[in-house]
């Protein structure tokens, strides 16, 4: 059977960083990858150094919601075939779930589709950012659900957080899932063979509704270059209100990759250029005016040609 592993964790916790490490670990093996972005635009897939035959993307929500689970199943059926590059049997499939996903329905989905005859559910790893975890835990059910489903939890970004916050996050993780292995990390630097992880805890869950009332998303199209200083200022002004902002933005200094989460902003030159930039925003409904203002400020600074 093909091992199927999930990388889960809330928005901005470091899942893509872990995925990049796993890609290097399995570089010489016929492993396939599936990336699930909550926003309508696939940003994470563009960040990964993978051949198209080994990468699938499902943007626009959670793969465990009623609207997207069918597409997820179709990809799993396709990815179970022999590797197109080497012709060898598939060595595993690793899925990066959306940051808002509740992965507890994965066992039900495999059983209902009889994919449990093809796939063996291997590791489920949850990545935790202590800076946001404890704040979000009481309000967002998916945050706890991700820990409940995990066999391993990585307390990430310990270099950026106070020790008290790290300790509190670890304690909360152990209370939610006493059987989970808990690791601390900087930049998700851990020894991890996710395809050989012990079976995750036996949890069950329902498919999520197509529209989660806790989240809104907007894709902000930036059509002409903006000044990097303006881009930074606009994002920093919205930092306290958004769950996440990420994407590629054309600037007067070249294309920049912007990544905002837990109040932290990373702005760096992109590895590739883009003519039209898209910044994906994810936010609570109460922050819709902030998101609209952010989009308006960037678009006003870069009017269409």
**Order of all β-strands in the sheet with 55-59:** 55-59, 31-37, 92-96, 2-9, 119-128, 152-155, 181-184
Task: Note the pLDDT tens digit of each residue in 11-70.
Answer: 999 999 999 999 999 999 999 999 999 888 888 888 888 888 999 999 999 999 999 999
CATH number corresponding to 216-301? 3.30.1220.10
In CATH terms, are 2-196 and 216-301 the same topology?
no
HEC secondary structure over 27-51:
CCCCEEEEEEECCCCCCHHHHCCCC
224 vs 79: which has the higher pLDDT: 79
CATH architecture type of domain 2-196: 3-Layer(aba) Sandwich (3.40)
203 vs 167: which has the higher pLDDT: 167
pTM: 0.92
Task: Note the pLDDT tens digit of each residue in 178-236.
Answer: 999 999 999 999 999 999 987 787 788 899 988 899 999 999 998 889 999 999 999 99
pLDDT band at residue 300 using 50, 70 and 90 as cut-offs: confident
**What percent of the chain lies above the pLDDT cut of 90?**
80
Domain chopping of the chain, boundaries = 2-196, 216-301
């Amino acid at each position: 059977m093909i091992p199927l592993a999930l990388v889960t964790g809330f928005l901005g916790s470091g899942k893509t960083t872990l995925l990049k490490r796993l890609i290097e670990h399995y570089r010489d093996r016929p492993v396939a990858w599936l990336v699930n972005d909550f926003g309508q635009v696939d940003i994470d897939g563009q960040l990964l150094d993978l051949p198209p035959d080994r990468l699938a993307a499902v943007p626009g929500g959670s793969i465990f919601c009623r609207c997207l689970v069918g597409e997820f199943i179709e990809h799993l059926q396709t990815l179970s075939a022999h590797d197109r590059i080497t012709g060898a049997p598939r060595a595993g499939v690793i899925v990066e779930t959306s940051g808002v996903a509740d992965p507890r329905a994965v066992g039900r989905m495999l059983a209902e589709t009889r994919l449990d005859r093809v796939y063996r559910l291997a590791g489920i790893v949850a990545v935790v950012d202590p800076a946001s975890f404890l704040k979000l835990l009481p309000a967002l059910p998916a945050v706890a659900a991700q820990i409940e489903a995990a066999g391993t939890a990585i307390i990430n970004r310990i270099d950026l957080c106070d020790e008290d916050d790290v300790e509190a996050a670890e304690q909360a993780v152990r209370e939610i899932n006493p059987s989970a292995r808990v690791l601390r990390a900087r930049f998700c630097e851990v020894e991890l063979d996710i395809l050989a992880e012990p079976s995750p805890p036996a949890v069950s869950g329902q498919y999520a509704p197509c529209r989660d009332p806790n989240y809104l998303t907007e894709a902000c199209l930036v059509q002409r270059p903006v000044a990097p200083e303006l881009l930074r200022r606009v994002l920093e002004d919205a930092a306290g209100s958004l769950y996440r902002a990420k994407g590629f933005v054309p600037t007067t200094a070249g294309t920049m990759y912007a990544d905002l989460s837990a109040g932290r902003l990373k702005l760096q030159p992109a590895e590739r250029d883009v003519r039209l930039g898209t910044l994906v925003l994810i936010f609570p409904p109460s922050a819709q005016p902030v998101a609209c203002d952010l989009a308006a400020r960037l678009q006003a600074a870069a009017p269409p040609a």
